[in-house]
Amino acid sequence: MKSKRIEVSLGTLFLSLSLVFGRLTFIHDFIPGFFTGLALCFFIIGLLPEKLYTKLRIAKRCKN
């Protein structure tokens, strides 16, 4: 079984935070929308094929 990447877990965390902030607080739509956007970005990165994912990780390490 393939292990899941940390980005998918972070996406789930940010999506749950978005739902909690959207339902339980009376804040504007900016903060839940921000967390939803982060969740989508992490989901997309976490679900990339292995070849693209490794290229992305290598490119990120070379910039530092």
Q: What is the pTM of this model?
A: 0.74
What are the pLDDT digits (tens) for 7-28? 899 999 999 988 888 887 777 7
pLDDT digits (tens, 9 = 90+) for 28-56: 778 888 888 999 999 998 888 989 988 88
Question: Which pLDDT belongs to residue 3?
Answer: 63
Classify residue 11 by burial, with Cβ atoms within 10 Å: 0-12, 13-18, 19+: buried
